[in-house]
Amino acid sequence: MPKPIIDKEKCTGCGSCVGICPMDVFEIKEGKSILKKPDECIGCRACEVQCPAETIRIED
């Protein structure tokens, strides 16, 4: 099962992952991206590709 990993140090809170995720896995909280529904990730890697700060990676 794929699992998104967010590097909190690099996250700028831009919201790119929130906007691109088809499963609504992410949300912005306190200026950073967090996983609100990590178990619903389908591993499409859209967030990984879209993130301008290269903050997100999908672990298989």
The DSSP-derived string for the chain is --EEEE-TTT-----HHHHH-TT--EEEETTEEEES-GGG-----HHHHH-TT--EEEE-
What is the per-residue pLDDT for 57? 96
Per-residue pLDDT reduced to its tens digit, 3-58: 999 999 999 999 999 999 999 999 999 999 999 999 999 999 999 999 999 999 99
Right CATH for 3-59 from 3.30.2130.10, 3.30.70.20, 3.40.50.1370, 3.90.920.10: 3.30.70.20
What is the per-residue pLDDT for 47? 98
User: Is the whole model's pTM more than 0.75, yes or no?
Assistant: yes
